[in-house]
Structure 1
Amino acid sequence: MNYTVSVRALCEFTAREGDLDLQFAPVPTALEGIAGHAAVRSRRPKGYEKEISLEDTIELAGGRHTLHVRGRADGYDAHRQQIEEIKTCRRPPEMLPHNHRSLHWAQARVYGHMLCKARGLARLRVALVYYDIDQEKETVLEVQHEASELATHFHALCARFASWALQETEHRLCRNRCLDALRFPFPAMRAGQRQLAEAAYKAALQSRCLLAQAPTGIGKTLGTLFPVLKSMPRAELDKVFFLTAKTPGRQLALDGLALIAAGIDTADDAAGSKPAPRVLELTAREKTCEHPDKACHGASCPLARGFYDRLPAARSEAVAAGRMDKAAVRAVALSHGLCPYWLSHDLTQWADIIVGDYNHYFDMNALLRSLTDNRQWRVAVLVDEAHNLPERARKMYSGALRPSALLAAQRHGPGNVRKAARAALKACQHLYRDQTTTYQSYTALPERLSGALQVLSAALTDHVETGADRLQGPGQAALALFDTATSRTEHHPETSSRQPHDKRKVQHTQGLAHPGTPYSDADLLRLHFDILHFLRLAACFGPHSVLDVTLAGENRLNDAGTLFSLRNLVPAPFLEPAFRISHSTVLFSATLTPWDFYRDTLGLPDDTAWVDVASPFDASQLHVRIARGISTRYRDRRQSITPIIRLMAKQYCTKPGNYLSYFSSFDYLEQVADAFALRYPDIPVWMQARNMDEAARDRFLQRFTAGGCGIGFAVLGGAFAEGIDLPGTRLIGAFVSTLGLPQYNDSNEQLRQCMERFFGPERGHDYAYLYPGLRKVVQAAGRVIRSDTDSGVVHLIDDRYAQPRVRALLPRWWSVRP
């Protein structure tokens, strides 16, 4: 069997040693890196070759297997017989850790060997070219090598990798054999589950995207995982990514994979490999870090010290176990004195199935997407509860900046930062000088503002770099977190540049770097974090985005309510590359109607397949009734309160039990709940509160006991409108007192207008308001029927539910009555 590895992966596996070192090292974006490479090549003489594809193959295990190494050298000057490895940077190369420079040299020498072999060269000059994109300056490091030296170096690296390559080759053969023989973990599939499984299997074999709408209760997790795993050998897949919006979905996937694995004979085969697929769970840094008060380098954190020296043994132990969930990775990491978070990142290369959050694949510079692209993996992507992806993606590709933070930097920052912050503030004032309203959106990003922020970012970079040595304790921890959250670090170039949880963590460090002072290095780090993300979004600003300016207070710059937001409206341009590089993607949910809305807004291919799985539930299980005589429009809400509470009380008295009552806002909820409690004090009620923590949410759900009675009041689209399971008599009905439409305001009107520009005037309102609203309604109503033995009632309280275009968006199996 032929085992193929990239030059980059080979060198990362064999040439790293010493500490994990994530001290601050701002690096160029992908686009800046491309521009930097182009700038270097433009300076080369005529005849200079670029992007040279090279490869070499060596035999393993007496010729039974081969190791195929491939890659593309950046450039070759035939006149000088010099091969070049180009690295873009934002600081002098001598400031790069030795670990990184040795890795770069290893890559350059491997390319040198392969070029000598391909062209019969006896000797070659190998050069590392570091190009500072800010200074537009090259630093060239050259070493003359004999071809025999380069060959010796190459074979030494391959020898270190050979045993691992043999193990991985055997593992893949065994894995595929076991998947070929895989059996469904239950005697039979549920109704509808087979239809979903067949569609997912075909999508994987045909290398297509699939949108699958399938009702709650049929087992969508197993109905997608099982067929895609079965397809891995035939489709020649390297990996399967199972992506979720929330932690419970991730656990469901892990539980499903455990069921599948339980039916596999996990005894060691003749080669000593475990045939079961390896499963890895990726989790957020804030939930994984063992020393949040320390920085990610050997001088600060003991789990970073000697990281690469101890990594091989930990890696081998983890993959031998097969199941690498959060707890298992932590146990292995700590037993070897390693950081669990960064060990899990290394293990992504050796896992067969990876379970994680949406952002691990869809976020800007996301880990799994970058690895897929750079390693040329064939992957199948499963997107759980895919109705959440449009809104989650908008947030991934949006960012905000507060002028009050710039003002604080101008007043309290170091000299160079103060000057740059002053210029940025003037650019902000120039932008909104003619703004007559508190909110206004702009379809273009002023060059003056982006230019001023670039200068301020450079000043902050200089300050952070020169001050890194003096930062200690939590201030240094904030710095390390800033590194991993905002930079494509040299440790792991594929690391996501920004994750929402990372930003929250940085905010917790405010004022800690220098206790007792009103302004700290942690504040500057947080500002730098926001500016870098803002600039990354500015670099790809287009018709899919708007610049929102919200003004607050008399002294607008000093008011925290004044906000500059780069808001993404249509995520399709950002997500389309993720779908393009996957072999197959299956997006599934109970609410994906209409399917063309999701295809358009997510940027799915034109040939995306669609399946609407028939419900296993009978219409007699759920009585859906429309309250035609009630309007819940904003102007009618006060008048709606009395008829709503009468309807709820009548239903409760007709059949006492547990109910959920949903409203469009907390204000509306509180008004109706207060009126209901006053009018019907004998009926138990409990309410969702604003900003409930996890414990409070658990207490709310604990009120829904089997055989219990009462009404819980909740907000539509909130924590209790989807993702909760209250089977049997724990919930027998729901009231939905809203159509779920987003509020009509300037911000949402910008979204509607953008949708019209992209998809046509006839779709703007529906894409911005109607479809997102009805999706929340159907999700909330879906809490009532969770199995084929459940029964209940749903009251849709608004006269607009009687409109044919609205009725058409409700599930087909519902029997809707007046």
Structure 2
Amino acid sequence: MSQKTVTVSVRRLVEFILRSGDIDTVSGAFGEMDAMQQGGLMHRKLQKEAGPSYRAEVSLKHTTEMDETLAITVEGRADGVITETEMAADESGELGLKEVVTIDEIKGTYRNLRYITEPVLVHLAQAKCYAFFYAEKEDLEEIQVQMTYVHLKTGKVQRFREKMTRNELEVWYTELIDRFAVWVRHQIAWIKKRNLSIGAGSFPFEYRESQKKLVSGVYQTILRHRRLFVEAPTGTGKTISAIYPAVQAMGNGLTETIFYLTARTIARTVAEDTFGLLQDKGLAMKVITLTAKEKICVLDKVQCSPEYCPRAKGHYDRINEALYDLVTQEDRMTRECILAYAGKHQVCPFEFQLDAALFADAVIGDYNYVFDPNVALKRFFSDRSGDYLFLIDEAHNLVDRAREMYSAVMSMTELTHARHAVEDKAVDRRLVTYMDRSILAMSALRESSDQSCQLMGNIGSLIVYLTKLSEQLEETLKEGVTAPLREVLMEFYFDIRRFICAFDRSDDRYLIYALRSEDSFEIKIFCVDPSKDLGERLAKGCGAVFFSATLLPVQYYKEMLSDTAASDYDLYVDSPFAEENRLLVAATDVSSRYTRRGRKEYERMAAYIRDIIRGKHGNYMVFFPSYQLMKDVFEVFTEMELMKAGHGLQLVVQESEMSEDARQKFLDAFQADAADAVIGFCVMGGIFSEGIDLKEDRLIGVIIIGTGLPQVGEERELLSRYFNEKSGRGFEYAYLYPGMNKVLQAAGRVIRTEKDRGVIALLDERFNYSQYRKMFPREWHNCSKTSLNTIVQQVEDFWTDKA
């Protein structure tokens, strides 16, 4: 039997096996800061100042032969190995010089050093690992361990040193590695079982030609460690056609974790169901769905502190037992499953699921778990890359989501609110001083801007004071602040850090501008082109597949979502459905342009709706570019004779804020063979324009009013000017492409299966212009023109042919 060697870093080993204590938002928020650039700079400064006896960044590793089947290698770099000589007596009592070796482990912190009275357990454990490795390598009977804590703001240092024998280090390390081996053996056995099941599996359906093409494209992309952009029309089975080859690639050792990333809850449910389908057919795979903290927290209000949450107290003392219970018993780790095991072991369900993800083969979750620099899974991405595969569903949504992730805002209102919160409070005066200076810096920027929206030049002075303010906030919060001031300052701190980090990332792909009104002033660092930021995240994995029913033009999405666009693959999958099952028309005598809006145009739109639904009794959705236009047309439509609710017609209207129950009630109105016809009035780009699946007679027509172009606004105009200067395509990038994507998504609600029949009516004369027609997918080549004089006959002829 061949021996398997598993390699793990010193830090990951000790942080996993030896973690203990409470969850605390304050301490947890700043724990990451120790490993950031400032900590690295301070490390190097201390190492240079230490003198010739100090060797920095010494690579060390140790392999333990557990048995004939398993060896575990632990490796890392000691911050320092100090070799000194001291006077000591030998066995005969004679004095002489003796060489003494000390392993130094440096940790940067913002915590006041007077509160650090002994080394943190996991920090000391890292040093002890290196000490054991070095003593073994150099055959030393004794070695010293030194913990060096350095304050990242003041540079002050506090050290703890103790002498240890190789024997006691070996006993300690053996217990540590034995505890870790339990997890390793479980994972090895699981992966063997998983891969055998993958090899025995097959595609769960009869292949369509379009699915063969997609499955092959995805697998080849993974094999070559590339990125693929897929336009796959609704109904092509793109979810299974992406997941199945990814699973096969995992069985062949091409990827270690599949991340299925989405923008909407419904898409996560589809992914769960797809993995579940494969599991029902024999696939052994651990799949976890990640849930936002606010939705999985057991408290009424999220308060991650032991004084408020009993589960936060001692969470890390219980977490590994809870994890082992979960991963050895469950393969489908849904929200309900996580909550059940978290309750059983009294641990935080949010942190629990993040740890459980490390043991999952597939992780389903929102985009932000990979791409958002403030939320991304640090357990996977903070200090390493991996053979991770990213399957990015609804990829058309990622452009705006990414801009949001990498942008940040600082407002005068937020600064003054925080300043008022500390008024007359017992806080360090330096905190108040830096707040005042930050406010003055914002005031100066306001005085320099004389427009409602203005690009800014140098905001360096604001950044300097915000940086000092954030450092002081860290120190203040570390030393302890009572609620509710702590909550205010914590939120304020995170906003400042996000703003500073956005500034540090900013380059010529960003715009910094001010928004000014009579009662507000804010500075926004706006990520116009997120491709580089996304690329850095994608580089953490071995490949990525972006797919959507609407990814046209593909070059635009490649440029916006990937920094390797020139070498990325793209694939267009033809629709598998018969063209004759769909009537697609574009009106020539109606427009949603602002200059045309008025009673007369609304009556024409309402007449179109009336004439289309008279062609066949059934369910329809009407999509509008805005709530206001929807309201105006709805009022006109309901005034029409015989068109009021109660005449065999039920009207349902999307509201701007809808609960989950309200959304479901809206969709439940669309039932096949109902006595009343149903018309849903909806907004393009909203919750009902994508991700819903009303098959067959539950929806037989979609009427799209307007081209979906985003409303003209200051930020959109900045986008337009930026891309005009860059490529001469400002209108397309800022308005046309996002607008037409909404149109295509709305149109995709109709034909979901080969049994579906339906009408798609595009009510805006601009859909007949070449600029817009070029945006149509291939299967729309037979789009015909229509008018109020011809629409009735066209609809009647279509349904007569389908009878």
TM-score, normalised relative to structure 2: 0.88
1:682 aligned residue: 643
- Give distance in 2, aligned partners of 1:611 and 1:349: 32
The letter of the residue matching 2:727 is P
Q: Once structures 1 and 2 are overlaid, which stretch shifts more, 293-302 or 685-694? A: 293-302
The letter of the residue matching 2:232 is A
Whether the 8 Å CA contact 2:622–2:705 is kept in 1: the answer is yes
1:453 aligned residue: 466
1:217-296 alignment runs, 5 A limit: 217-264=235-282, 276-292=284-300, 295-296=303-304
The 3-state SS of whatever aligns with 1:433 is helix
2:776 aligned residue: 810
Q: Are residue 301 (structure 1) and residue 301 (structure 2) matched?
A: no
- Give distance in 2, aligned partners of 1:96 and 1:635: 68
The letter of the residue matching 2:15 is E
Q: CA deviation at 1:800?
A: 2.2
User: 1:465/1:106 Cα in 2 relative to 1: closer, same or farther (>3 Å)?
Assistant: closer
- Give distance in 1, aligned partners of 2:26 and 2:514: 35
User: 1:467/1:681 Cα in 2 relative to 1: closer, same or farther (>3 Å)?
Assistant: farther
- Give distance in 1, aligned partners of 2:27 and 2:608: 61
2:412 aligned residue: 403
Q: CA deviation at 1:70?
A: 2.1
User: 1:120/1:432 Cα in 2 relative to 1: closer, same or farther (>3 Å)?
Assistant: same
Q: CA deviation at 1:120?
A: 4.8
Q: Are residue 721 (structure 1) and residue 741 (structure 2) matched?
A: no
The 3-state SS of whatever aligns with 2:733 is helix
- Give distance in 1, aligned partners of 2:59 and 2:774: 54
1:467-478 alignment runs, 5 A limit: 467-468=480-481, 471=482, 475=483
Whether the 8 Å CA contact 1:211–1:608 is kept in 2: the answer is yes
1:584 aligned residue: 543
2:65 aligned residue: 59
1:5 aligned residue: 8
User: 1:540/1:136 Cα in 2 relative to 1: closer, same or farther (>3 Å)?
Assistant: farther
Q: Once structures 1 and 2 are overlaid, which stretch shifts more, 122-131 or 234-243? A: 122-131
User: 1:401/1:391 Cα in 2 relative to 1: closer, same or farther (>3 Å)?
Assistant: same
Identity across matched positions, percent = 31
Q: Are residue 385 (structure 1) and residue 394 (structure 2) matched?
A: yes
1:644 aligned residue: 605
- Give distance in 2, aligned partners of 1:690 and 1:376: 41
- Give distance in 1, aligned partners of 2:579 and 2:242: 26
- Give distance in 1, aligned partners of 2:277 and 2:50: 59
Q: Once structures 1 and 2 are overlaid, which stretch shifts more, 602-611 or 353-362? A: 602-611
Larger Rg computed on CA atoms = 2
Q: Once structures 1 and 2 are overlaid, which stretch shifts more, 67-76 or 609-618? A: 67-76
1:38 aligned residue: 44
Q: CA deviation at 1:137?
A: 2.7
- Give distance in 1, aligned partners of 2:580 and 2:52: 78
CA offsets 1:720-742 (integer angstroms, 9 cap, x no match): 11111111222211222221222
Q: Once structures 1 and 2 are overlaid, which stretch shifts more, 748-757 or 197-206? A: 748-757
Q: Once structures 1 and 2 are overlaid, which stretch shifts more, 63-72 or 101-110? A: 63-72
User: 1:106/1:733 Cα in 2 relative to 1: closer, same or farther (>3 Å)?
Assistant: same
1:548 aligned residue: 513
Q: CA deviation at 1:792?
A: 1.2
The 3-state SS of whatever aligns with 1:813 is helix
The 3-state SS of whatever aligns with 2:526 is strand
Q: Once structures 1 and 2 are overlaid, which stretch shifts more, 668-677 or 147-156? A: 147-156
- Give distance in 1, aligned partners of 2:449 and 2:122: 52
CA offsets 1:369-415 (integer angstroms, 9 cap, x no match): 65145354311111111111111111112222331232233344236
Whether the 8 Å CA contact 1:570–1:601 is kept in 2: the answer is yes
Report the RMSD for the aligned CA atoms in angstroms: 2.5
- Give distance in 1, aligned partners of 2:239 and 2:461: 49
User: 1:183/1:690 Cα in 2 relative to 1: closer, same or farther (>3 Å)?
Assistant: same
Q: Once structures 1 and 2 are overlaid, which stretch shifts more, 164-173 or 584-593? A: 164-173
In structure 1, the gaps of 5 or more residues are 266-275, 476-512, 514-519
- Give distance in 1, aligned partners of 2:443 and 2:765: 47
1:427-442 alignment runs, 5 A limit: 427-442=441-456
The 3-state SS of whatever aligns with 2:242 is helix
- Give distance in 2, aligned partners of 1:382 and 1:787: 23
1:684-703 alignment runs, 5 A limit: 684=649, 685-703=651-669
User: 1:134/1:660 Cα in 2 relative to 1: closer, same or farther (>3 Å)?
Assistant: same
Q: Once structures 1 and 2 are overlaid, which stretch shifts more, 50-59 or 339-348? A: 50-59
Q: Once structures 1 and 2 are overlaid, which stretch shifts more, 148-157 or 289-298? A: 289-298
User: 1:655/1:90 Cα in 2 relative to 1: closer, same or farther (>3 Å)?
Assistant: same
Q: Are residue 17 (structure 1) and residue 20 (structure 2) matched?
A: yes
Q: Once structures 1 and 2 are overlaid, which stretch shifts more, 393-402 or 412-421? A: 412-421
CA offsets 1:254-276 (integer angstroms, 9 cap, x no match): 111111111117xxxxxxxxxx1
2:799 aligned residue: none
The letter of the residue matching 1:289 is C
TM-score, normalised relative to structure 1: 0.86
The letter of the residue matching 2:325 is E
- Give distance in 2, aligned partners of 1:614 and 1:93: 64
1:70-219 alignment runs, 5 A limit: 70-78=75-83, 81-93=101-113, 95=115, 101-186=120-205, 188-219=206-237
- Give distance in 1, aligned partners of 2:184 and 2:753: 47
User: 1:603/1:37 Cα in 2 relative to 1: closer, same or farther (>3 Å)?
Assistant: farther
The letter of the residue matching 1:85 is E
- Give distance in 2, aligned partners of 1:772 and 1:32: 40
Whether the 8 Å CA contact 1:314–1:333 is kept in 2: the answer is yes
Q: CA deviation at 1:118?
A: 4.0
Aligned pair count reads 748
CA offsets 1:453-481 (integer angstroms, 9 cap, x no match): 2233344334433443xx3xxx4xxxxxx
1:566 aligned residue: 525
The letter of the residue matching 2:49 is R
The 3-state SS of whatever aligns with 1:235 is coil
Q: 1:657 aligns with which of 602, 618, 625?
A: 618
- Give distance in 1, aligned partners of 2:458 and 2:155: 25
- Give distance in 1, aligned partners of 2:595 and 2:137: 77
1:510 aligned residue: none
The 3-state SS of whatever aligns with 2:597 is helix
User: 1:202/1:745 Cα in 2 relative to 1: closer, same or farther (>3 Å)?
Assistant: same
User: 1:654/1:107 Cα in 2 relative to 1: closer, same or farther (>3 Å)?
Assistant: same
Q: 1:333 aligns with which of 304, 320, 342?
A: 342
Q: CA deviation at 1:590?
A: 0.5
Whether the 8 Å CA contact 2:110–2:475 is kept in 1: the answer is no
Whether the 8 Å CA contact 1:445–1:547 is kept in 2: the answer is no
User: 1:464/1:246 Cα in 2 relative to 1: closer, same or farther (>3 Å)?
Assistant: same
2:90 aligned residue: none
- Give distance in 1, aligned partners of 2:181 and 2:486: 47
- Give distance in 1, aligned partners of 2:313 and 2:486: 25
User: 1:620/1:405 Cα in 2 relative to 1: closer, same or farther (>3 Å)?
Assistant: same
Whether the 8 Å CA contact 2:233–2:548 is kept in 1: the answer is yes
Q: Are residue 354 (structure 1) and residue 368 (structure 2) matched?
A: no
- Give distance in 2, aligned partners of 1:680 and 1:460: 65
Whether the 8 Å CA contact 1:361–1:369 is kept in 2: the answer is no
- Give distance in 2, aligned partners of 1:391 and 1:143: 54
Whether the 8 Å CA contact 2:112–2:479 is kept in 1: the answer is no
User: 1:764/1:34 Cα in 2 relative to 1: closer, same or farther (>3 Å)?
Assistant: farther
- Give distance in 2, aligned partners of 1:149 and 1:528: 44
Q: Are residue 610 (structure 1) and residue 630 (structure 2) matched?
A: no
Q: Are residue 797 (structure 1) and residue 763 (structure 2) matched?
A: yes
The letter of the residue matching 1:3 is V
The 3-state SS of whatever aligns with 2:154 is coil
2:632 aligned residue: 671
Whether the 8 Å CA contact 1:741–1:769 is kept in 2: the answer is yes
Whether the 8 Å CA contact 1:659–1:711 is kept in 2: the answer is yes
User: 1:426/1:630 Cα in 2 relative to 1: closer, same or farther (>3 Å)?
Assistant: same
User: 1:763/1:51 Cα in 2 relative to 1: closer, same or farther (>3 Å)?
Assistant: farther
- Give distance in 2, aligned partners of 1:566 and 1:463: 27
Whether the 8 Å CA contact 2:637–2:643 is kept in 1: the answer is no
Whether the 8 Å CA contact 2:532–2:563 is kept in 1: the answer is no
In structure 2, the gaps of 5 or more residues are 85-99, 786-803
The letter of the residue matching 2:570 is W
